[in-house]
Amino acid sequence: MAQEKIKPLSELVLLITDKKKEGKKVVFTNGCFDLLHAGHVQYLEEARRMGDFLIVGLNSDRSVRALKGTARPINTQTARAVVLAALECVDYVTIFNEADPLALITALKPDVLVKGSDWPADQVIGSKEVKADGGVVKTIRYIPGYSTSNLIEKIRSLEVCSE
């Protein structure tokens, strides 16, 4: 079940310790994932291929509002977490309240930290810490044409047209 893949940080730290002892490579990425679209899915599938299992840090509702304004998120953190966890390529999801995932990254110590290429690798939050622990930072090419903000605007324009 998807909900079994949603874990608090404390539980993930224990799971990762065991996985690393087995020689598994831990991949971590994070984001809001508000309205999941094909760009998100392709990104997550590519991230998963960079290691043995993928952990997604999901911005909480409070964190999304702080980053994107009071009109967001569209979906609650619980709904977003369930949808992400249902993806085959996602092994675990954890929700964080902070503005950035640095505390998660520091606690989890992933072998691979992944972000979209709209972030320069040296500016990815947690990159210094991951590299100091012997890990690597990778970026995945941004896929044009996919954007949650664009989807929201498209939906809003449809609402205006139908009135």
**Looking at residue 149, what is its pLDDT?**
63
- DSSP three-state, residue 95: strand
Q: How many CB atoms lie within 10 A of CB 98?
A: 14
CATH 2.40.160.20 for domain 2-162: no
**Looking at residue 155, what is its pLDDT?**
72
**pLDDT by residue for the chain (163 residues), tens digit each?**
889 999 999 999 999 999 999 999 999 999 999 888 888 999 999 999 999 999 999 999 999 999 999 989 999 999 999 999 999 999 999 999 999 999 999 999 999 999 988 877 778 999 999 999 999 999 998 776 666 666 667 777 775 565 5
Chain centre distance of CA 140: 13
Q: What is the DSSP string of 101-144?
A: SHHHHHHH--SEEEEETTS-GGGSTTHHHHHHTT-EEEEE---T
Q: Which long-range contacts (CB under 8 A, 24 or more apart) does 10-17 make?
A: 12/55, 12/92, 12/94, 12/108, 13/107, 13/108, 15/92, 16/55, 16/108, 16/109
**Looking at residue 148, what is its pLDDT?**
65
Distances, alpha carbon 65 to alpha carbons 42, 51, 60, 72, 76, in Å = 25, 31, 9, 6, 11
User: What does residue 50 show for φ and ψ, rounded to 5 degrees?
Assistant: -85, 0
Q: What is the pTM of this model?
A: 0.90
